[in-house]
A and B are shown apart, each in its own frame.
Chain A
Amino acid sequence: MTATAVATTSTPAPARPRRTWVGVLIGVLLVVLGIVSLFVGVSDVSVATLLEGGADGTAAFLLVASRMPRTVAVVLVGASLGIAGLILQMLVRNKFVEPGTTGVSEFATLGMLVTIVLWPGMAIMGKMAVAAVFGLIGTWVFLRVIRAVPVRQLVLVPLVGIMLGGIVGAVTAFFAYRLDLLQSLGQWSQGSFASVMQGRYEYVWVAAVMVLVAWVAADRFSVIGLGEDFATNLGLNYRRVVAVGMVVVAVITASVLVTAGMIPFLGLVVPNIVSLIIGDNVRRSIPWVAGLGATFVLACDLIARTVRFPYEIPLSVVVGIVGAGLFLWLLLRKGSRAH
């Protein structure tokens, strides 16, 4: 009798402790995996060897030169890719878009190819800038096409994006093939952290800055997600917020591409899972998306490092398998709104 009374008076309450619990779990996992990541690798880096000082301090050197950069890069890439997916989903008002399903990644890849062909000696920062500009063009083209094609069905929007990406990808592949760069293109666009080390990962900090920008503008993105008319009625400069969102998505995509290559599904799966747990308020979901994205990529990278030890399998393979499974689960799960 009392039980029913409680249930009727406070319907939203039961969900709250569960959310907190999940949040704590993600946080703990992130920290644990981050520490594990520091001590997993080909060379022997452990607390013992660190304390010993090792032979001429090799362990400490590797910790600083190789393990820490890799772990930081993985965390930043995971966090920022999740955010890029989240922002894009708000801009398009569709739960099934991410840089990989809207052609943004393919445009950025084309940008990279252009720099490699025209300015092979260019610094990585420059390559990233060009890739970001191409990614920006890609986002713009996608938004225009979506606007021009009156598709409001959920699944059609990413389909249009995938087609767009397919066309751009084909153009990229054509030029890479003609220029004998297909192999190289495949190599660096394949997601992997194997060659990340000090001096070769710092560009992901740019993505971290973009995450901050997203956080600052979070409430505006929430409003944008309600539609242009609604946002304008609330006195929001719709175009400006969309522009900021486009820049955030393009720059994150480009910096991840330069550092690790393409990582599929992440921007799609992570925001959707977070949305299931805590809903669609962008300000509240940003730390969740960032934390879950980082944890997800950390776990996948650890698998990639250890499955065929001492060799590595490409991270994108692991993420592809795990991410595709999660994506299917999201689609097929009971009560999914995708049908």
Chain B
Amino acid sequence: MTLTSSRPLLAASLALATAVALTGCATADADADAAAAADPADTVTYSWDRNTAGEDEDPQFEATTVEVPKNPETIVVFDMASLDTIGALGGEVAGAPLDSVPDYLQDHLAADAFNAGTLFEADLVAIEAEQPDLIIIGGRSTALYDDLSEIAPTVDLSIAGSFQETLERNTTFLGEVLGAEDAAAEALAELEAGIEEAQAATAGAGTGLGLMVSGGRLSAMAPSEGNATGRNARGGLIYDVFGVEPVVEDVKAATHGEPVSFEFLLEHNPDFLWVVDRDAATGEENAQAAAAVLDNDIIKQTTAYQEDQIVYLDPTAWYIVFGGIDTTRIMIEDVLQIAE
């Protein structure tokens, strides 16, 4: 009871991103008029609506435009999806909250990468000492803007709008910043094709249910309906992005899905169970804790179990990072398991 999740923060970032989506002003392009003042060859302009209110306040939005140097030498990243994309586009990151970097993104860090703090608290002294050219925040680290923007140009690449919109916007922008426009376009085309292939695989496969298993409890996930900012999106992406037909339509987007019983699974009996194992997201040794939870007599009666159609999704990709290039590749592969 005394343990609370970071709900105020979530609410703030959700509201922020919703507003961004509504105004649709998160453009990564160096617009002619915006870039007129500066030398268009040397900077990229990025605009978004920034929430200037505290995390427990009603959101107050302020249109924010930041000029970002092209080919920055020293980049500090607090947003894991951006770290993923920068690395996939051949860039390297000088600093990040090292404790939060998942294993498969470690390669994207410079060999001597420094620890920039945590997602919630930046190590301002260390960052200042490195004199970065660009700082990228997003999601949980959104609140760091005020402090970090005094050190270097800081942009917020939080999710805004749908998953695909965010992926395209951020990849295009980072491609431009890194001078890797072609690689970015190529990656986007590849991911688009991959998602289409995955959609084709799920199309005739019957109904599915996104299920999060955590601490022995089950939560049914809901479609996020084009707004991928909610935490529910993490399980909801299976419907939104990959076209799985939800076995129940009315799962409301609660913070972490809706608590359900084993009986619920048997009664609605989806053809596929798409399981995000929250406990396994934290380490290899805990992997497949969900499998133990789902190993019981009621589950054994379900179609998904009997047809061997319980699909375990990569928890780090689906739950923690999502939105970067390599991460999306992993997600596509996860879904394509059912095509084999």
Contacts and interface: CB of A to CB of B under 8 A. Distances in A.
Contacts of B60: none
Nearest to B231: A183
Nearest to B120: A177
A194 B267 contact: no
Interface string B268-307: 1000000000110111011001000100111001000000
A41 B286 contact: no
A41 to B, nearest CB: 5
A183 B278 contact: yes
B258 A188 contact: no
Interface stretch (A88-96, A165-173, A290-298): A165-173
Contacts of A173: 2-3
B261 A41 contact: yes
A42 B218 contact: no
B1 A262 contact: yes
A230 interface: no
B31 to A, nearest CB: 40
A158 to B, nearest CB: 15
A201 to B, nearest CB: 11
Nearest to A43: B267
A311 B259 contact: yes
B258 A308 contact: yes
B339 interface: no
B104 to A, nearest CB: 15
A192 B217 contact: yes
Nearest to B295: A199
B90 interface: no
Contact of A310 (B3, B217, B260, B296): B260
Contacts of A180: 281-283
A200 B266 CA distance: 17
Q: Which of B99, B214, B285 has the most CB of A within 10 A?
A: B214
Contacts of B282: 179-181, 184
A43 B265 CA distance: 10
Given A194-B218, A199-B297, A314 B259 contact: yes
A111 interface: no
Given A43-B263, A311-B260, A199 B296 contact: yes
Contact of A195 (B248, B258, B262, B289): B262
Contacts of A170: 2
Q: Which of B215, B256, B266, B297 has the most CB of A within 10 A?
A: B215
B214 A62 contact: no
A269 to B, nearest CB: 16
Interface residues of A, number: 48
B278 A66 contact: no
A48 B175 CA distance: 65
Interface in A179-203: 179-190, 192, 194-195, 197-200
A307 to B, nearest CB: 12
A36 interface: no
Contacts of A313: 259
Interface in A148-174: 165-166, 169-170, 172-173
User: In terms of DSSP, what is the predominant structure of the interface of chain B?
Assistant: mixed
Contacts of A262: 1
Interface in B186-220: 214-218, 220
Contact of A120 (B262, B286, B298, B301): B286
Q: Which of A100, A187, A200 has the most CB of B within 10 A?
A: A187
A47 interface: no
Contacts of A195: 216-218, 261-262, 293
Contact of A184 (B4, B214, B263, B285): B214
Given A65-B298, A195-B293, A316 B1 contact: yes
A118 to B, nearest CB: 10
A106 interface: yes
Contacts of A176: 3
Contacts of A267: none
Contacts of B289: 120
Interface in B205-245: 214-218, 220
A312 interface: yes
A187 B3 CA distance: 10
Contact of A66 (B216, B248, B298): B298
A262 B1 CA distance: 8
Nearest to B266: A43
B23 interface: no
A5 B141 CA distance: 78
Interface in A257-312: 262, 264, 308, 310-312
Interface string A103-143: 00010000000000000100000000000000000000000
A329 interface: no
Given A169-B2, A197-B297, 16 more contacts: A43-B263, A66-B298, A120-B289, A173-B3, A176-B3, A180-B281, A186-B215, A187-B215, A188-B215, A194-B218, A197-B261, A199-B297, A308-B258, A310-B267, A311-B220, A311-B251
Closest 7 CB pairs of A and B: A188-B215, A187-B215, A311-B258, A169-B2, A180-B282, A187-B214, A184-B215
Interface of B: 1-5, 99, 214-218, 220, 248, 251, 256, 258-264, 266-268, 278-279, 281-283, 285-286, 289, 293, 296-298, 301
20 contacts: A61-B297, A62-B298, A65-B297, A66-B298, A165-B2, A169-B3, A178-B99, A180-B282, A184-B215, A184-B282, A185-B215, A186-B5, A187-B215, A188-B215, A190-B217, A195-B216, A195-B293, A198-B296, A264-B1, A312-B258
